[in-house]
Amino acid sequence: MKLNFGVKENGTVVLGSKVVCDGLIEDNMETLVMSHAHRDHLEHSFIANAYTLDKTVVMTEETRKLAATYGNANLETNFHLNVLETRKALEFDGYSIELFEAKHILGSVQVLVDYQKEGRFLYSGDFGEEVPNIPKADFLVVDSTYSEMFNKNSWSQENAFDELRKEINLALQHSPVFIVGDPGVLEIALHELAYWDKIPKVISKDKEKEWAKIYKSKNFDLPEVLSEDSDEEEARSLKFENFIQVAHNRKAIGDNPGGKLFVLKNFGINQHEPINQISENHYLVGITSHAYGESLFRYIEKVEPSVVITDSYRGKNNATTLAKSIEQEMGIKAYPSIEVEAD
C-alpha cells in the first residue's frame, strides 16, 4: 500500500510531500526535522546529507547542543540549520512546521506539518508521560517502541527512584556505585535522585560531562561530573574513597567494575519490582522516558487522526501489535509502517 506518510525501511519518517524526520532526506523533499538527540533518530550523516543536497534542517536548540557532543556535522553556523522554539510555526511555501514538547529527553519534540492542500501530519517522535500539548492532526506516525507493555505494576517511577536512592545509600557504605542509563534517562534519574548534597561530584566520560552541563543549564539538579578523559587527575583522586561513576552505556563501565552496578532500562518497567537483582552486584532498575500501554491510547485519542502509522523500524513486533490494538480498541485505521510504502 502506498501513502504519502509513514516510515521508510531505513527509518526515515515521511510527513507529506515536503518534509521528512529523523533520517535521510532525498532530493524530491525540502525539509529535514530532527525530533531529538538519540542516535536511533539523529545521526550526523543525516544532517551532512541534507546540507549536501541544499535542504533545510530544523531542530530545537537543546537538540542542537546535545547532538554537538557527538559526530562532526556543523551545528554552529551552517545557514541550512534552523533552530526552532516549540509552539512557534516556521512558514514555508504551502506548509508550516511547528514543534511541540514531547517529554522524552531534553529538546525532544512532536513534529506537526500543516499543508494548505494535503492536511495536517503529526510525528509523535519518542514521547513520555504527561505530554503537555498534543496537537490535532489528520494523519499520525506514532512511536511504538514499548507498546506491548500494557501491564499495570503496583509501583510507579517515583517508587523506583525512592528504592534506587536507598540502594545507593546502602551500597556506598561498602563499595563504589556505578549507574548506567541511556542518554537523557541517566540525567533525569540523577535529577530525581536528589542525592548531590551528600556526594557533589561523580565520575564519567566527556560526553556524559557535556550532557550534564546542558541539563544543569536548564535547572536540572545534577552533580558535578568529572571526566576520566579531560579531568583525569581530579577524577582519579575521587577513587580513594567510595564513589559514584555514571555512564550512557555499559561498555564505558566494563564487565567487572568492582562495585554495585545499577542499570536503568526501559524494559525494567515490565518487572514486578522496581529494582531486580541480576547477579551479586548487578541490578536492573525500571526507569523509562517512554510512554507505554494506556498512555499511547490517550495520546492518540487527543490527536484525533483518521489514519495512524506505527513505527516498525524502531519497534517491529510492537508496531504490528499496536496497530491491531488501535483498530480494535479505537476504531481508527492503523498500519505498521512495514506494510506501507511511504512516498
* HEC sequence for the chain: CEECEEECCCCCEEECCCEEECCCCCCCCCEEECCCCCCCCCCHHHHHHHHHCCCEEEECHHHHHHHCCCCCCCCCCCCCEEECCCCCCEEECCEEEEEEECCCCCCCEEEEEEECCCEEEEECCCCCCCCCCCCCCCEEEECCCCCCCCCCCCCCHHHHHHHHHHHHHHHCCCCCEEEEECCCHHHHHHHHHCCCCCCCEEEECHHHHHHHHHHHHCCCCCCEEEECCCCHHHHHHHCCCCCEEEECCHHHCCCCCCCEEEEEEHHHHHCCCCEEEEECCEEEEECCCCCCCHHHHHHHHHHCCCEEEECCCCCHHHHHHHHHHHHHHHCCEEEEHHHCEEC
**pLDDT per residue of the chain (343 residues) written in tens, 0 to 9:** 999 999 999 999 999 999 999 999 999 999 999 999 999 999 999 999 999 999 999 999 999 999 999 988 999 888 999 999 999 999 999 999 999 999 999 999 999 999 999 999 999 999 998 899 999 999 999 998 765 544 456 678 889 999 999 999 999 999 999 999 999 999 999 999 988 988 899 999 999 999 999 999 999 999 999 999 999 999 999 988 889 999 999 999 988 888 999 999 877 667 778 899 999 999 999 888 888 778 889 999 999 999 999 999 988 778 998 999 999 999 999 999 999 999 8
Cell numbers of 340, please? 506501507
**Cβ-contact 107, 63 below 8 angstroms:** yes
CA–CA gap between residue 334 and residue 246 (Å, rounded):
40
Can you give the pLDDT at residue 268? Answer: 65
Q: Residue 122, SS3?
A: strand
Confirm if 122 and 115 have CB atoms less than 8 A apart.
no
Comparing CA positions, the residue from 282, 313, 320 lying closest to residue 12 is 313
Q: What is the rounded CA–CA span in Å between residue 55 and residue 42?
A: 16
d(CA 173, CA 3): 59
Q: How far apart, in whole angstroms, are the C-alpha atoms of residue 190 and residue 312? A: 31
Question: What's the pLDDT score for residue 74?
Answer: 92
pLDDT given for residue 151 in this prediction: 47
Q: Would you state the pLDDT for residue 255?
A: 81
